Structure 1
Amino acid sequence: MDAAYQAISEGRQAAAIRMLRDQLEQHPDDLEARALLAQLLSWSGALVEAGDQAERVLARDPVHPEALRARADAAAWRGDFATALPVYRRYLRHHPSAQARLAYGNALVAAGYLQRARTTLDEFDLQRSWKTFEEFERVTAERQALVRRLHRRSAPSLLVGGTRYRDSAGSRRNESRAAFEQPLGDVRLNLLLELVETNDDQKSSDAHSALLGAEARVTDWLTASAALGATEIRDDQIDGYPVGRLNALGHFDNLDYRLRLERNVFNETPTLLTNRIRLSEMELGSGYAFSDRLQLAGNLTRTRYSDDNDSTEVELTPQVVLRLRDPGVRLGYRRNHLTFDRQSGSGYFDPDRLEADRIMLFATLFLPRLRGGVELYAGQQRFSRFGEPVEQFIADGSARLEVDLGRHLVLQTEVEGGNFDLRTPEGFSYWMGTLNLVFRL
C-alpha cells in the first residue's frame, strides 16, 4: 500500500493500479487496497470495473467511506443516477463532508434535479467548517464550480442556426431554426421554430414548423420529453399537418434504454414535400456495457408512411473501447437490416431488403470549454429494389464540435458526408453541414 501511495503522489497512477492488483492477488480480503483501486480506476475512466470493485468492498463493509465515494462517483460519471444518488446519500449519512456534499450537488445538477441541488448548496453553506486554509481554498473553488454549473443549467437559452444539405441527385435543402428554452423548476420548457427550404432542377417546396415541448427527469432512472406542434407545407398549395414526439430514456447500472414515438413530415427533399409524405415512427434502443472495454448497442425502428407503406430497420453495433481516457476511442462493427413492404415511388429510398455491414471508428473529446466527436465508417451494402440487386462499397463520416466562446455564448458545428444516404432513391452521395449559436441569457 505504501508503494501505491508513493506512486500516486508521483503522478504514476497506472503503476499504482498495477501494484494494487498485485496486492489483491495475494490478499483478496484487503478492503483498503480494493477501495483505493476502485478510486484509481474511476479516475482513469474504467468506470464499470471501478463500480464492481467498490461493490465487492461494500458487500463486506456497507459503509466503507472510500468504497461508497468511488461507487457513487463512477456511477454518476456514467450517467447512472439511479445508482449514484442513493449511494451519495448513504455516504453523507455516515461520513458527512464538504467535498462529498459538493459531489452530490454536481450529480443532482447533471441529473436535472436543480431544486435539490440548490437545497444541497444551501445546506453546504450552513454547515461548512475548515480544518486548514488549503482545504478552505480547495472546497471554495469546487463550490464556485458547482454554482456556475447550476447557473448554466438554470438559465434560459436562445439557439439560432441552420443546416445545409446537398446530394448527387441535385436535391438541395436549407434549414433555418430558432429555439428558446426556459427552465421552470426541474422542468425545461422549449419552443422550436423551423423553416425548411428544398429545391431541385424541377421543383421547390418549403415547410414551416413550430413545436412546443417540455423535458423533465421523471425518476432517477428515467427522463421524458414531449412536444406538440404543426408543420405547414407551401408550394403550389398550402397544407398543414400536426406533428409531435415523445421520448423516454434512462440508464441503470450497465444498461441504457430509450423509446421514441414521433409523428412528422418527411421534409428532406422537394419531392417528399410535394408528395406530402408524413411518417409515424417508433424506435426502441438500448445499450449494454459488458465491461469497460466491450459494449453492445442496438436499435429497432418501425415506420409507417402516409402513402400506405411500412418499413422495419434493425441495427446492431458491438464496440471495443481502445482508449478509456480523454480523448476516447472506440472501434465497432455495425450491421443494418432494412425492409419495406413495397416500392411506393413517392421519393424516398424504399428497397425490398437492404443489408449493410460497416467497420466503425468513434472518437470523443470532453474538455472544460470544448466538446466534440468523430464517427467514421466504411463497408459494403446490398439491396434489392424493383427486383434489381445492387452491391456497393459505402463510406461515411461525421464530426461535431461544441465550443464555449464565453460565459454566455456557445458555438455548435457539425459536418457529415458520404454515400450511404437513405433520404432519396437516387442520391446516395451527400454532404450536410450545421452551424448553431446558443446564447445563455
Structure 2
Amino acid sequence: MTRTRIAAAGILLCICCALPPAARAEGSGGAGTIESYQKAISGATNKKKEAVLRKELGDLYAAQEDYPRAAAEFLQALALAPSAFTRRERLQMAIATSWADRFDDAAAVLRSILAEDPNDRDARIHLAKVLSWSDKLQEAETEADRVLSRYPENQDALLVRANVLRWRGDARASIPFYEKALAQGENFDARIGLAYAYLGAGEKRAAKEISAPLKPAYPYQEKELARFSDALCGVPTWHLSVPYSYYTDSDKNAVNRAAIVYGFRAGRWDTELAYRLTDAKDPVRHEKAEDIGITTRAKVGRFDTGAGMGISRAGGGNLVTGLARAESDTAWGAIGGSASREMLTDTAQLIENRITRTSGALSLSETVSPRLSFTERFIYSGYSDGNNSEDLWLGAKYAVTLVSPKIAAGYRFRYLDFRRQSGSGYFDPEDFTSHQAYASLFAEKNGYHAFLEPSVGYQSYTRYGGRISDTFYSLFASAGWTMKQCTAFEIYVEGGNYAGGAVAGYNYYQVGFRLTAYF
C-alpha cells in the first residue's frame, strides 16, 4: 500500500524558519556549521544547553532533507530536556522524525503533546497520519474521527479517514471521504487517493479521468504519480499471461509445466481462465495431466474473498476441482479460512495414481508493531488413497528495515503428521518437525524488483519405521521488471534439501518464469 504524506516543503519551511541565522546562511553547504554544532554539543555544560544545540543541529539536517540524522538529534534533545521546547517545536520535531520512518518514536512525541493539550488539532492530525503509515489503521481511524467530530470539513482528517478505508481494502467506502476532502480545495494526495479508490473499485475509466488534472509539484508527488500510472496499467480491462516452470529432484523426477491465463475484471471481480499442461517423467514413467479452470476474487467489505472450480484430466479420467477462501483484516492482524480439492500432478507417479487431496485451512496473523509480526496456519488434508494429515505452521518475522531495500529475519516451526505411509508417491512422514531460520531481502526501483530468501534449519521425522534427523537449507530468489509499458516479466528459482519443501520431498530445485501483457 502506498502511503502518501504531506509535502516536504511545508515542513522544511517551518524548520528553516526556526534555524539560527548562521545555520540558515550556510545552508546545505554548511559542513563547517555541522562540525561546529557537534563541537559545541561535546562542550555543553548542562543538559538543557545540549538539548537546544541538538535541536538546532537536527533543524539543519532536516533543512537538508537528511531526516534520519535529524530524527536522531531531535529524539536525543527531547530525551535530555523536553521542557526546553514549546509544543510547536516538538510538533515540528515529531513531523521530521516521522519522515525518517521512525513512526513509533514520532507517535510517542505526539502523544506527549496531546497529554498536555488534548485539543491540539495539528498534533492529533499528524498522529493519525503516523498511525496510518505504520499500519495501525484502527487507531488512526479513531484519531481522525476525533478531529472530524469537531471539524467535519478538515481536509487532512478526511484524507486520513479515506486512506484508512482504502488501505483496509474497502475502496468503494473511501470514495465519499476523498470527494469531501477534495471539495475543501485542490489537493494532490486527495485527488490521487480518489483515483486509487476508483481503480480499486474496478472503475478504471473514472480513475483515469480523475487523475488527469494531477500536476506534481514535489519529487515525492512525481514518484507517486508514476506509481499510479503503473497501477492504472496493472489493473486493466484484461490481461494475458504465460507461466512456465521446470522441476527436478533426487528421485530423478522431471516435470515441465506450461500454462496460458486470460484475466479480466467484471465489476469488482478479478477473474482468470487458465489452461495448464503438465508433462512429468521419472525412470519408469511418462505421464501427462491437463487442468482447466476459472478463479475469481474480490473485496467484499472487509473480506478478501475468492473461489474457483475446474477440471483435471489424467490417465483418461476427469476430476472436478475447486477452492473457496475468505480473509479479513482485524485490529490486530488478519484471519482467514479456505477449502480446496485438487489432483496432485507434481510427479509422474502421482499422476499415474490419480491422487486427490481435499484440504481445509485456518490462518491467523498478528501485527505487534510495524516491524514485528506472527503467523499461524493449520491445514487438515484427506487423500483419495485413504490417508490424511495434519499440518501446523508457526512463524515470527522481524523487519530490520521498513523501506526499500526491505530486510527481514524470521523463524518458522512446522509440525506435519500423516496417519500412515501410503506409498502413493507423496511425502507422508509421521511426526515431522522442522525449525527454520531465514533472512529475506526485497528491493524495487524504477519498475524493477528482486527478492531473495535463504534459510537453514533442522528437521526430523519417521518414515517406514526409520527415524531421520538432519540439517537442511533452502533458497528462493526472484526478479521482475516491466519490459515495456503494460508488459511484465518475472523469473524465479527455488531449491534445497528441505524434506517438506515439495510434495515428493527430498532434494529438489525448480526454475520458472511468467510473462504478462496487459491491455
Q: Which bin holds the TM-score, normalised by the shorter protein?
A: 0.7 to 0.9
2:321 matched to 1:233?
no
1: CA distance between counterparts of 2:446 and 2:142?
Answer: 30
**Letter aligned with residue 65 of structure 2:** G
Bigger drift between 9-18 and 362-371 goes to: 9-18
- SS of corresponding position for 1:47: coil
Q: Of residues 264, 271, 286 in structure 2, which corresponds to 1:182?
A: 264
Between structures 1 and 2, the one with greater helix share = 2
Measured after TM superposition, the shift of residue 222 of structure 1 is: 1.4
Q: 1:188 corresponds to which letter in structure 2? A: D
CA distance in 1, matches of 2:323, 2:400: 36
2:296 is aligned with 1:214: yes
Question: Which runs of structure 2 are paired with 1:344-363 in the superposition (5 Å)?
Answer: 344-363=422-441
Matching residue of 1:372: 450
Give SS of 1:354's match: strand
Once the two structures are superposed, the pairs formed by residues 89-100 of structure 1 within 5 Å of their partners are: 89-90=176-177, 92-93=179-180, 96=183, 97-98=185-186, 99=188, 100=190
Residue equivalent to 1:247: 325
Identity %, equivalent residues? 21
* DSSP 3-state at the match of 1:372: strand
- Give the structure with the larger strand fraction: 1
Cα 1:88–1:146 shift into 2, 3 Å: same
Determine the C-alpha separation between the residues in 1 that align with 2:223 and 2:16: 28
Which residue, 148, 156, 159 being the options, matches 2:241? Answer: 159
Matched, 1:114 2:168: no
CA contact (8 A) 2:502 2:508 kept: no
Shift of 1:11: 1.4
* Residue equivalent to 2:195: 105
DSSP 3-state at the match of 1:292? coil
Q: Deviations over 1:99-155 (max 9, x none)?
A: 31321321442xx3123x644665777xx7x9xx97699989977865663353133
> How far does residue 420 in structure 1 lie from its aligned partner after superposition?
1.1
Could you say which structure has the greater relative contact order, defined with CA pairs below 8 angstroms and 6 or more residues apart?
1
- Superposed, 1:31-430 pairs within 5 Å as 31-36=121-126, 38-39=128-129, 46-48=134-136, 52=139, 55-56=142-143, 58-59=145-146, 62=149, 63=152, 64-70=154-160, 72-73=162-163, 76=166, 79-82=167-170, 86=173, 89-90=176-177, 92-93=179-180, 96=183, 97-98=185-186, 99=188, 100-109=190-199, 112-115=200-203, 118-119=205-206, 146=228, 149-219=231-301, 221-234=302-315, 238-422=316-500, 427-430=505-508
Query: Per-residue deviation at 1:374?
Result: 2.2
For the 8 Å contact 2:141–2:164, the answer to whether it is kept is no
Give the counterpart letter for 1:170 in structure 2: K
Aligned-pair distance for 1:375? 2.2
| CA–CA separation in structure 2 for the residues paired with 1:249 and 1:429 | 33
Cα distance in 2 between the residues matched to 1:224 and 1:26: 41
Deviations 1:398-428 (A, max 9, x none): 1122211111311011110111143779751
**Inter-partner Cα distance in structure 1 for 2:219 and 2:135:** 28
TM (normalized to structure 2)?
0.72
Structure 2 SS opposite 1:336: strand
Output the CA distance in 1 between the equivalents of 2:236 and 2:489.
19
Q: Identify unmatched segments of 5+ residues in structure 1.
A: none
After superposition, the CA RMSD in angstroms is: 3.3
Inter-CA distance 140–436: structure 2 relative to 1 (3 Å threshold): closer
Deviation string 1:328-364 (CA, Å, 9 cap, x unpaired) is 1221111101111111111111112111111121222
For the 8 Å contact 1:35–1:57, the answer to whether it is kept is: yes
TM-score, scaled relative to structure 1: 0.84
* In 2, Cα distance between equivalents of 1:427 and 1:3: 60
- Measured in 2, the distance between the counterparts of 1:32 and 1:289 equals 27
> Which residue in 2 is equivalent to 1:12?
66
Is the 1:315–1:335 contact (alpha carbons within 8 Å) kept by the matching residues of 2?
yes
Q: Which residue type is aligned with residue 429 of structure 1?
A: N
SS in 2 for 1:279: strand
Q: Secondary structure at the match of 2:385?
A: coil
SS in 2 for 1:154: coil
| Alpha-carbon distance change, 387 to 137 in structure 1, aligned in 2, over 3 angstroms | closer
Larger Rg: 2
Aligned-partner SS, 1:170: coil
1:79-104 CA-partner distances (Å, limit 9, x unpaired): 4224x765663464366344313213
* Residues 421-430 or 266-275, more deviating: 421-430
Q: In 2, are the aligned partners of 1:114 and 1:150 still within 8 Å (CA)?
A: no
The 3 A distance-change label for structure 1 pair 419 and 142 is: closer
Residue 271 of structure 1 and its aligned partner are, at CA, apart by 1.2
CA distance in 2, matches of 1:12, 1:72: 30
Shift of 1:265: 0.8
**Cα distance in 2, alignment partners of residues 139 and 395 from structure 1:** 43
Structure 2 partner of 1:435: 513
CA distance in 2, matches of 1:322, 1:5: 34
Question: Secondary structure, in 3 states, of the residue corresponding to 1:216?
Answer: strand
2:478 aligned counterpart, secondary structure:
strand
Q: 1:72 to 1:320 in 2, by over 3 A?
A: farther
| CA distance in structure 2 between the aligned counterparts of 1:134 and 1:205, rounded to whole angstroms | 57
Q: Unaligned stretches of 5+ in structure 2? A: 1-10, 19-58, 76-92, 95-105
C-alpha separation between the residues in 1 aligned to 2:127 and 2:297?
A: 38
